Amino acid sequence: MRKLLKYLTRGYMKETVLAPLFKCIEAIFELFVPTVVASMIDVGIANGDKAYIGGMCAILVGLGLAGLGFSVTAQFFAAKAATGFSKTVGSALFRHIQTFSYSDLDELGTSTLMTRMTSDLNQVQTGVNMTLRLLLRSPFVVFGAMIMAFTIDVPSALIFAAAIPVLSIVVFGIMLAGMPLYGKVRIGLDKLLGRTRENLNGARVVRAFCIEDKEIADFNSENEKLTRIQLTAGRISALMNPLTFALINLAVILLIWTGALRVDAGQLTQGQVVALYNYMSQILVELIKLAGLIITITKAAACGKRIQSVFDSGEGMTGGTVKNGFVGYENTVELRNVSLTYKTASDKSLNGISFKARKGSTVGIIGGTGSGKTSLVNLIPRFYDPTEGEVLIDGVDAKEYDLEALRSMIGIVPQKAVLFKGTIRENMQWRDSSADDAEIMRALTLAQAADIIEKKEHGLDCMVEQGGTNFSGGQRQRLTIARAMVGSPEILILDDSASALDFATDAALRKALRTLNETTETTVFIVSQRTSSIMHADKIIVLDDGEAVGIGTHAELLDSCPVYREIYDSQFRKEGGETA
């Protein structure tokens, strides 16, 4: 948590100082109230002086208004500092997450990062706000009340001196006992959210395998664990108020009893006893506030540690300084004996892959589920770095490229077609924000998506719902393909991005891609499970269990690669061996 405070002191130092300062000034006005009341009783009421009572009432109103002014000002500065701090930390955290490699994202998990960015950050913001308002004010009032009590009557004030240490032991003891538990609560919440997200995303798979009861049981088990921890933490925290109330009330009883004896002996006035009682009440109120503040700080500190753990984790992916590859280099992409092992895996996902992709050529990648097709194309834009071997782009090792320069050369269509809320034009400009309507329509035409625009009343200004839910699966795929083509990338990667297209549209798209190869020399990688989608590629790479078991043209692989032949036959042969 301490490391995060630099974001508070850098941009909001003034607010961080002024908020507690104004709160302490407000507390000073509050500390004068009991003495004014005591004077009103001992002088005004005792002597029946209505003018004096009126004057004291006016002073009380003045103290209240002045305190209100300083309190509102303090609240403003505290809120500004807390929200600004939250915004700065959130922005820094988001920027840091953007530097993560896919390996880092796989290791931390989406649900964990979402929790850190939302509920954890909100809890830290609340903690900072409350800290600026009360962390100095409450102790200031407690010790100020004790000092004011000494100015009234030393023997009675000794009760304050004895009660405050006992109360402090109770408050801080509960805090130390509760802090580790709140950390466990956040960890348990992470696990529960992760399981919930998995079940929501995989609801159809769960139903397909009829394991709803098992998933419900697993969820209930995680939920019960979290509930037990929360109940334990809640029970410990619940001790705070009753214990502090009991101790304060015991001190009040002792104070009134002692005060009555001293009033009877003529050593104290009735107004002074009332003032002492009011100071004790102020201490009670402030200690209750302090107890709540400590619980809030405890939660915020636990959340702050979790946010800091994200800053501390993730090796990130640092780029080099190269902006462009070798001019006129024959091969756009070249892999030299490349292997890839994921962080959490024991076996290689890719093993000893080597091939060259000439500039302007089309490379098809095919294989069974889990054969490593997506892993292979993810090496090109450096979403992952190979554990062995080299990936060369225009003759330069991909690790030597500036990351932004490297990825600006590449258009990618992922397996899951993702559209963002906004207009179609805004979605098309994600890769190239300066693209005009003519460039966008050219890309849409190549992607066989121009008809989508023609059928929409507002054309490119048609609104896209979050996730593109107002478009069919095939429309989403064509729009994402068009988005990747905007700006004429040097490399275009289509990762099984035509699975929802009918055969006629798929054929038209492949024809358009050949035109793209000829006119812009774009090197196209097509990942597919359909042999029809890649059979006309200049080079086809057949993957099986992470190894390239065949590299060549369609005709060559039919003769030399049993795996490719098997895939082809399963899709193009009827029973009995007749051609479909």
CA angle 431, 433, 434 (to 5 degrees): 125
Q: What strands, in cross-sheet order, belong to the sheet with 523-527?
A: 410-413, 491-495, 523-527, 362-367, 539-544, 547-552
Cβ 196 vs Cβ 230: under 8 Å? no
CATH 3.40.50.300 in the chain, residue ranges = 322-409+493-574, 414-489
CATH 1.20.1560.10 in the chain, residue ranges = 89-312
pLDDT of amino acid 576: 40
Three-class SS of residue 351?
Answer: strand
CA distance 439 to 432: 10
For the domain 89-312, what is the CATH code? 1.20.1560.10
Domain 414-489 fold? Rossmann fold (3.40.50)
Domain 322-409+493-574 fold? Rossmann fold (3.40.50)
pLDDT of amino acid 578: 42
Which structure tokens are listed for 221? 């088990």
Three-class SS of residue 524?
Answer: strand
Number of CB atoms found within 10 A of residue 472's CB = 11
Cβ 366 vs Cβ 541: under 8 Å? yes
CA distance 533 to 526: 8
CA distance 535 to 271: 99
pLDDT tens per residue across all 580 residues of the chain = 677 888 887 778 888 899 999 999 999 998 888 888 888 888 888 888 888 888 989 999 999 999 999 999 999 999 999 999 999 999 999 988 888 878 888 888 787 888 888 888 999 999 999 989 888 888 888 888 888 888 888 888 888 788 878 877 887 787 778 777 877 887 888 788 778 878 887 888 888 888 889 889 988 988 998 899 889 888 887 887 788 778 878 888 888 888 888 888 888 888 888 888 888 888 878 877 877 787 788 788 888 888 888 888 866 677 788 888 877 788 889 999 999 998 877 788 999 999 999 988 999 999 888 888 999 999 999 888 899 999 999 989 999 998 888 988 999 988 888 889 999 999 999 888 888 889 999 998 988 888 888 888 888 889 988 888 888 888 888 899 999 988 888 999 998 887 778 778 888 888 888 877 677 788 999 998 888 888 889 999 999 988 999 999 999 999 999 999 999 988 876 444 444 3
